[in-house]
Amino acid sequence: MAVTSAARPRLGRLERPALTGVLVREVVNFSSYWRSATFSSTVEPTIYLLAFGFGFGALVSKVGGYDYVEFVGTGTVATAVLFSSAFAAMFGTFVKYQFQRTYDAILAAPVDTEELVTAEALWMATRAGVYGCVPMLVAIGFGLDPAWGMLTVPLIAWLAGFGWACFGVMVAGFAKSIENFSYVVSAVLTPLFLVAGTFFPLDTLPSWARFLANVNPLYHCVELVRHAAFGWEGWTDLAHVGALLAFGLAMWRLAIHAMTRKLID
């Protein structure tokens, strides 16, 4: 008996139609839940901005040479990025493979795990790029001066969002149950979120803490956004971009590795 042998289309890696397919699914789904996603991704950082900006701003009017509201308004861009990428990725990924079994359906189509993870991260990065701008826009409403450099903020937020989305997918891939997320939130995300230079400058901290800040991707995002708003600092900013690129690349590969282990047995 002969085995059917049809024309053999050689299908490669990271194909555009596969990425598009997964992205279309996300965009169509987004039309059904954009209200709640937009609400949580923008209101939370805005509350941080208002609470710290005005609560704390009443005690300290200037930090690092800026009005405190402006300092926090630029810093909380990173917070919005974190909320709309890492958290969405952790919970969304877990729900999609464990409860909705969406990924089983997608992987039965001509889509590989690498393409699935990449497309999901691209989508969440794009959301982070948009939502990340919200705190800055609110801060402009409260007196932050607009600057041309701010036009790069969506790109900065996109880049940081890509890394954090991949981080979230990786965590979901390695987690045995959704309860495991609390370890990651308490032990990793909360400390990184607090020691990123969002609410207070890091140059008053001991040197070991400043060293640790340099391995915190949120810190690089905060710095870049501040420089976009208040003035670029040349090579320093390139180094920040490099750090975010390295973070994104490493997390991307780790996320693919974790999800392959999870989805293909």
Partner 1 sequence: MTELAVRIRGAVKRYGPITAVDGLDLDVPEGTCVGLLGPNGAGKSTTMRLLTAQSIADEGEIEVLGFRLPKESKAARAQCGVTPQLDNLDVTLTVEQNLLVFAHLYRIGRSDRQAAIERALQMAKLEDRRDSRVDKLSGGMRRRLLIARALVHRPRLVLLDEPTVGLDPQVRQELWALIDALRSEGTTILMSTHYIEEAQRLADTVLIMSHGKAVAAGAPAALVSEHAGDQVLEVYGAPARLAEVEAEAGAEGLRTRRTGTSVSILGVESGNGFVSDGERRPANLEDVFVLLTGEEID
Residues in touch with partner 1 (CB under 8 A): 1-6, 8-11, 17-18, 20-22, 24-25, 28-29, 32-33, 100-102, 104-112, 263-265
246-255 burial string, b = 16+ CB within 10 Å, else e? ebbeebbebb
If the CB atoms of residues 104 and 145 are measured against partner 1, the closer one turns out to be 104
Q: How far apart are CB 18 and partner 1 at their closest, in Å?
A: 8
Q: How far apart are CB 20 and partner 1 at their closest, in Å?
A: 6
Q: How far apart are CB 91 and partner 1 at their closest, in Å?
A: 16
Q: How far apart are CB 90 and partner 1 at their closest, in Å?
A: 20
If the CB atoms of residues 31 and 207 are measured against partner 1, the closer one turns out to be 31
Q: How far apart are CB 183 and partner 1 at their closest, in Å?
A: 26
d(CA 192, CA 84): 16
If the CB atoms of residues 176 and 206 are measured against partner 1, the closer one turns out to be 176
- Chain-centre distance for alpha carbon 139: 20
- The partner residues of 66 in beta bridges, in order of sequence, read 63
- Judged by phi (left if over 0) then psi (alpha if -120 to 50, else beta), residue 197 lies in left
If the CB atoms of residues 155 and 263 are measured against partner 1, the closer one turns out to be 263
If the CB atoms of residues 126 and 198 are measured against partner 1, the closer one turns out to be 126
Q: How far apart are CB 122 and partner 1 at their closest, in Å?
A: 15
Long-range contacts of 241-247, Cβ-Cβ distance < 8 Å, separation of 24 or more: 241/159, 243/214, 243/217, 244/156, 244/159, 244/160, 244/163, 244/217, 244/220, 245/159, 247/160, 247/163, 247/217, 247/220
Three-state helix/strand/coil letters over 97-141: HHHCCHHHHHHHCCCCHHHHHHHHHHHHHHHHHHHCCHHHHHHHH
If the CB atoms of residues 33 and 208 are measured against partner 1, the closer one turns out to be 33
